[in-house]
Amino acid sequence: MAADLPAISPKVLIKILENEGWQKKRRANHGLAMAKFFEGKNYITIIPTKDKSIPKGTLMAILGPKQTKIGRDRFLELYKTYKGKG
């Protein structure tokens, strides 16, 4: 499942989330808090910024239903679109 996810940097993930309407809210030593209001609720996720790439398990948790609700398949579409722009 997570094996087909690309190794991405926090910077790339932040750009992808910003393109999806997420907003930077607060920077801390361990990461960046991002928020988005949808489905009548405010969702917040923390993107770790210390490492060169985000571990796949962490990426899956960020994409999951408790944080961004993007999901693996939608993320792969967004990532391909992002890569196509560069």
pLDDT in tens, 52-64: 999 999 999 999 9
Residue type, 56: K
State the Cα–Cα distance between residues 34 and 76, nearest whole angstrom: 20
Residue 75: HSE in the Cβ half-sphere, 13 Å Cα cutoff: 25
Please tell me what DSSP assigns to residue 59: H
pLDDT in tens, 7-43: 999 999 999 999 999 999 999 888 999 999 998 999 9
Which residue in this structure is represented by tokens 């993107």?
47
What is the pTM assigned to this prediction? Answer: 0.89
What pLDDT shows up at residue 86? Answer: 59
Give Cβ neighbours of residue 43 (< 8 Å, ≥ 6 apart): 35, 36, 37, 67, 68, 69
